[in-house]
Structure 1
Amino acid sequence: MELLTEPNIWIAFFMLAALEIVPGIDNIIFISILLGRLPPEQRDLARRLGLGFAMVSRMALLFSLAWVMTLTTPLITLLGQEISGRDLILLGGGVCLLYKASHEIFMEVKVQESKETRAGVADVKVGTSVF
């Protein structure tokens, strides 16, 4: 009963609820867009399967996250710092996010430069053909 009166427990509960509601809404929007491409007689089954798969996969991810958080036994010691399985997984995820963000930024800059270059070439061609 003490857990029900603890404010930190309620704050954590509402934070987790919010973090689950946002991707849930995203799933509904994505599934709705895809359902528009199906014939009307297949939409109901596809909606149920899509939402069911989204729910099962989200629950599996939450259970795997709970399991990863228990991996606190030190695996190696590097420069006097003990490193556990959880640390390695979090480090790998962080590196993956940094790579993906850097790659997306690089591709966006490359596309912008390509558009500017093509616009400049088009202006030169138009300018030379007029004279």
Structure 2
Amino acid sequence: MEIFTHAETWLALLTLTFFEVVLGIDNIIFISIVSNKLPIEHRARTRNIGLLLAMGVRILLLLTITWVMKFTEPLFFVPHWISEHGFMSGKDIILIFGGLFLIAKSTREINHEMEGEDDLDTENTGKKANVTNVIVQIILLDVIFSFDSILTAVGLTKEIFIMIIAVVLSIGIMMIFSGRISEFIHKHPSMEVLALGFLILIGFMIFLEGLGKDIPKGYIYFAVVFSMMIEMVNIRARTKRKKAKEEFHE
């Protein structure tokens, strides 16, 4: 506990927690979208279970940080036109398949949204299967995104204990806000489609990162935030027009 008497410790903790939350924004959006496919009484519980299990996985990865860092070592060599590194590591393979999974899943959800398909099951067994499926997806996606957060954490501090506290705090923040984000996305289908488009973009970025391409994430996140702000203005404008029409007919 002596480390908490140093200002550098608190600065590292706050910085790490901030980065964990920022890097988890796309994770929260994904969780909100997939949990909205469940019956309303299962959504909050499923989100919390998925996030808690994901937190456990992330802490386990931090505790085995030496083993995780080996994932960046070459497994086999490939031509430079395939990967700019000239080799494939365990991390690269996970990012490639993770990016493809995110692209495929988001594309499928957009198709469901456009076609008006309903994923909710009326059978109790169907609900249980859906809940399990959503939790597994949350954990898998968190493992994919964990590599960025872990490598960022290692660059900011060498104290595993500080990293774990930052993970717990960030997951707690996600649990607090995921319900509100989920409700907002469910209420506004246009925002859901925009968010899914954002996840496709993130998936493509992860895929390219697995191929050794250095994609500045700041530009992508800025474009996404700007697009969402414009859509929120559109939602507010549509709400005002709808309210004005209702008052006119009255």
Q: TM-score, normalised by structure 1?
A: 0.45
Structure number with higher relative contact order (C-alpha < 8 Å, ≥ 6 residues apart): 2
Bigger Cα Rg: 1
Q: TM-score, normalised by structure 2?
A: 0.27
